[in-house]
Structure 1
Amino acid sequence: MNIMFNGQSVKTTCISLKDFLQSKNIDIQSVATAVNSNFVPRSLYATTELTEGVSIEVVSPMQGG
């Protein structure tokens, strides 16, 4: 399926958000994630299903001001 990942179109066979993030070698303990502009708590990554055209945004916290 085709999805948007941080503004880029990508193809994936992953079914869950957790599987997708792991396929991208993303440390799920160190990022915040939104699906279709809605924040997803880490506790729901494994049960958040991906569908055609979904938009995923992943950000890492930064220190500073």
Structure 2
Amino acid sequence: MKIMVNGAATEVRAGTLAQALDELGYGEAKVATAVNESFVSTAARGQTALEPGDRVEIVAPRQGG
């Protein structure tokens, strides 16, 4: 299915946010996620179903000062 990931159209086979993160190479990464502008906690990713056209944001923490 086609979803938007960080503003870019992306094709995924995943049915949940957790599966999409694995498929996109973020499996064990420490990232913050949102679907359709709603924050999704790490614990809820496995139960968060994705639909075609969903907007997924993946943000990695940055260090520095």
TM over 0.5: yes
Structure 2 regions of 5+ residues with no counterpart? none
TM-score, length-normalised on structure 2? 0.90
Structure 2 distance, partners of 1:28, 1:58, is 13
Structure 1 distance, partners of 2:28, 2:47, is 14
State the number of aligned residues.
65
Q: What's the CA shift for 1:28?
A: 4.3
Q: What's the CA shift for 1:12?
A: 1.4
Corresponding position of 1:55? 55
Q: What's the CA shift for 1:29?
A: 4.6
Corresponding position of 2:22? 22
- State the superposition RMSD in angstroms: 1.2
Structure 1 regions of 5+ residues with no counterpart? none
